[in-house]
């Protein structure tokens, strides 16, 4: 008996080994709420589990010549378990399910259908080979059907199963099925870049056309869900694409060894191959490749390796090692598709953090070229982008990065957008192409430097940034401060909010997007004033913390002084010589800071001034005392 048990164990190990060596198909289930995603996944897990147990039972019967024992799991309990996860909020993240058949291993991204979880669905789509778009036969094509289809297409999924579910609830009507297929086909032809759409009538609950053909749909001659998944061609493993490896870290245990570590995103590499390091373009050849301390003759995509080079060149985290024969590009300005993932609107001109694999940069979003309406497919103008909305816009970075268009390489063409203040991911983007001006416009070096201009003026140039509510006293203090600095022999200039809107920014209104752009322009002008050696004094409400941080980042730390004129709202209203607060209270002046638009007070300004306790003259003296004590003049 022990000998027979050993034979059974050996057969099982061989079976498990066979599973390890199978190719992997990744797919995602998408659709509106209650279209049947959990039920479909439950059915697949249940059926695949039974297939696995049947195989083991057959092994036992062959070895022991005994009858099989009923194993398996209850399908209804499995589906209830998946549904319970949703009720517990587990669907905030993508849930990945795993199962296997004789031919393949499967990884399915189980994402919720609720609109607020579109980010999860997009995450799951980014690595999928196939998308199963479920449609409730009773409801037909819904908004989420279109949105999810558009996103999976945008993210590079080329094969779709249109699973028309719950046919049992419409008496397996061929007419209803045909109408949904027709509607979806028209939508897909106009909206999607899909190579293959396979429509399948199913009942996930009852198992119709999931594993085996259903007698209830004798009018259907196509494959079942599993027939399709078992036979569909997997596009590939990226080995045929040009070599790309983002450098994650540099391993230098001693002076004799310098290795560059990372996961190969695409292509393959071997010793002797010529490479280039981007950005920058330094060239060398591969000297050796290591994986788990073993030297390799060749390494392919998906493998994490350490490579050494024949030359001592400067390579660090954030660089990308690429094929010298097909290096891709480097640039700092792009057109991109953006999917916004935050409740707080995306506002052009606001500064965010750009992250693509190991490359990070500061990102400025340009004006939106157009927003894409996933229902009508129209390209509509927009000034900002809301949750789950998609747009095409230009972006600019503060440094050049290595890239490929997303359609050519998902790793080097995709990126996420991170809020600088909260550190939350607020968007994801796909690079379409580099803008030509990225290569045609170069920074022109000047012989006279900022330092030389400052020495000529015998002062330290800086931005003195007054912020506070309308009527707080910013402009009055700034005006007195400039007179005092001027009398001390300093070279100054004032940029005032009202004055700037008469010229440079007269095309801007007072929406949140326009206010962000107003401050962005002022910041760039203030930076030029610092470059010229001047002390630039500004007086702007500048209500948003993110924009004030952005201005601070334009110059060195000691060159930016934030002064918060902290005057209570009720005092500002009493000083309202322009009558602005009264108009705002009556609704005649929308988006007015402090009334119908927020003011984000500075948390750690260099100077805080309470004008209810000090005069404007004393406030100006406070600023001068600060500059003198800190040797900033």
Q: Which of 448, 620, 451 is nearest to 537 (CA)?
A: 620
- The span from the CA of 518 to the CA of 501, in Å, is 8
Q: 541-568 burial string, b = 16+ CB within 10 Å, else e?
A: bbbbbbbbebbbebbeeebbbbbbbbbe
Of 38, 48, 476, 542, which one is the catalytic site residue?
542
Q: What letter does residue 319 receive in the DSSP assignment?
A: B
Q: Please, what sign has the CA dihedral across residues 437, 439, 445, 446?
A: negative
- Work out the widest C-alpha separation in the chain, in whole angstroms: 106
Map residue 317 onto helix, strand or coil: strand
Instruction: Establish how many alpha carbons lie within 13 A of residue 319's alpha carbon, considering only the half-sphere containing its beta carbon.
Output: 20
CA 158 from centre of chain: 21
3-state secondary structure of 6: helix
Phi, psi of 263 (to 5 degrees): -95, 135
What 3-state DSSP class applies to 406?
Answer: coil
Instruction: Name 351's bridge partners.
Output: 364
Torsions phi, psi of 129, nearest 5? -90, -35
Query: Of 465, 518, 532, which is closest to residue 494 (Cα–Cα)?
Result: 465
Inter-axis angle of helices 75-87 and 37-64, nearest 10: 140
The pair of structure tokens assigned to 183 is 């509607």
Q: Is 72:89 a contact under the CB 8 Å cutoff?
A: no
Beta bridge partners of 441: none
Distances, alpha carbon 28 to alpha carbons 71, 121, 129, 144, in Å: 28, 8, 8, 15
Torsional class of 281: left (φ above 0), alpha (ψ -120 to 50), beta (otherwise)? left
- Number of neighbours of residue 38 by Cβ within 10 angstroms: 25
Between CA 333 and CA 340 the distance in angstroms is 19
Whether residue 130 contacts residue 103, with contact meaning beta carbons closer than 8 Å, is answered with no
Q: For residues 364 and 517, what is the distance between their CA atoms, to the nearest angstrom? A: 11
Q: Which residues pair with 28 in a beta bridge?
A: 109, 131
Tokens 């599993």 correspond to 226
Distance CA 346, CA 368 (A): 10
- If 0-12 CB within 10 Å is exposed, 13-18 middle and 19+ buried, where does residue 345 land? middle
Question: What is the rounded CA–CA span in Å between residue 168 and residue 196?
Answer: 26
Ranges of beta strands (E only) in 34-129 are: 95-100, 105-110
Instruction: Give the burial class of 588: count Cβ atoms within 10 A of its Cβ; 0-12 exposed, 13-18 middle, 19 or more buried.
Output: exposed
Quote the Cα angle for 136-140-145, to 5°. 80
Is-catalytic flag, 356? no
Asked whether 223 and 231 are in contact (CB, 8 A), the reply is: yes
Active site residues: 542
């Amino acid at each position: 008996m022990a000998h027979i048990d050993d034979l059974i164990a050996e057969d099982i190990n061989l079976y498990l080994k066979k599973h390890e060596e199978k190719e992997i198909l990744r797919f995602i289930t998408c659709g509106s709420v209650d279209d049947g995603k959990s039920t479909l996944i439950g059915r697949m897990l249940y059926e695949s589990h039974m297939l696995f147990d049947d195989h083991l039972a057959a092994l036992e019967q062959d070895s022991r010549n005994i009858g099989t024992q009923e194993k398996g799991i209850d399908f209804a309990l499995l589906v209830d378990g998946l549904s319970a996860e949703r009720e517990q909020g587990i669907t905030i993240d993508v849930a990945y399910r795993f199962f296997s058949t004789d031919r393949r291993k499967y990884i399915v991204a189980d994402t919720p259908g609720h609109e607020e979880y579109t980010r999860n669905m997009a995450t799951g789509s980014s690595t999928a080979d196939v998308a199963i778009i479920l449609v409730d036969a009773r409801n037909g094509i819904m908004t989420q059907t279109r949105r999810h289809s558009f996103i999976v297409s945008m993210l590079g999924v080329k094969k779709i199963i249109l699973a028309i579910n719950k046919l049992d609830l419409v008496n397996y009507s061929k007419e209803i099925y045909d109408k949904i297929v027709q509607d979806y086909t028209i939508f897909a032809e106009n909206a999607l870049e899909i190579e293959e759409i396979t429509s399948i009538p199913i009942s996930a609950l009852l198992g119709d056309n999931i594993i085996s053909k259903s007698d209830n749909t004798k009018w259907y001659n196509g494959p079942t869900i599993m027939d399709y998944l078992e036979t569909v061609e997997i596009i590939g493993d990226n080995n045929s694409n040009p070599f790309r490896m983002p450098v994650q870290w540099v391993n230098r245990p001693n002076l004799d060894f310098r290795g560059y570590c990372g996961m190969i995103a695409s292509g393959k590499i071997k010793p002797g191959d010529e490479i280039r390091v981007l950005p920058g373009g330094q060239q060398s050849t591969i000297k050796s490749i290591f994986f788990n301390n073993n030297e390799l003759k060749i390494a392919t995509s998906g493998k994490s390796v350490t490579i050494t080079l024949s030359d001592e060149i400067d390579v660090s985290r954030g660089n990308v090692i690429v094929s010298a024969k097909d290096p891709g590009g480097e640039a700092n300005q792009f057109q991109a598709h953006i999917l916004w993932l935050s409740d707080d609107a995306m506002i052009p001109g606001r500064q965010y953090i750009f992250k693509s694999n190991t490359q990070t940069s500061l990102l400025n979003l340009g004006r939106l070229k157009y927003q894409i309406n996933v229902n009508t497919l129209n390209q509509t103008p927009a000034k900002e982008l809301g949750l789950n909305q998609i747009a095409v816009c230009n972006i600019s970075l503060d440094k050049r990065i290595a890239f490929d268009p997303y359609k050519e390489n998902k790793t080097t063409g995709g990126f996420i957008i991170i809020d600088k203040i909260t550190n939350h991911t607020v968007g994801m983007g796909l690079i379409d192409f580099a803008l030509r001006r990225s290569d045609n416009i170069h920074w022109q070096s000047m012989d006279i430097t900022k330092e030389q201009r400052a020495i000529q003026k015998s002062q330290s140039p800086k931005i003195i940034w007054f912020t506070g509510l309308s009527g707080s006293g910013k402009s009055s203090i700034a005006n007195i401060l400039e007179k005092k600095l001027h009398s001390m022999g300093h070279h100054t200039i004032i940029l005032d909010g009202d004055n700037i809107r008469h010229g440079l920014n007269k095309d801007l209104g007072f929406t949140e997007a326009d206010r962000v752009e107003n401050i962005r322009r002022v910041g760039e002008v203030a930076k030029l004033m610092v470059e010229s050696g001047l002390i630039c004094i500004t007086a702007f409400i500048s209500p948003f913390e993110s924009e004030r941080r952005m201005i601070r980042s334009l110059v060195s730390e000691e060159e930016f002084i934030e002064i918060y004129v902290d005057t209570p709202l009720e005092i500002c209203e009493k000083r309202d010589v322009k009558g602005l607060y009264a108009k705002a209270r009556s609704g005649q002046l929308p988006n007015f800071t402090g009334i119908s638009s927020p003011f984000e007070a500075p948390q750690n300004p260099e100077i805080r001034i309470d004008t209810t306790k000090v005069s404007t003259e004393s406030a100006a003296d406070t600023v001068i005392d600060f500059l003198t004590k800190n040797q900033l003049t």
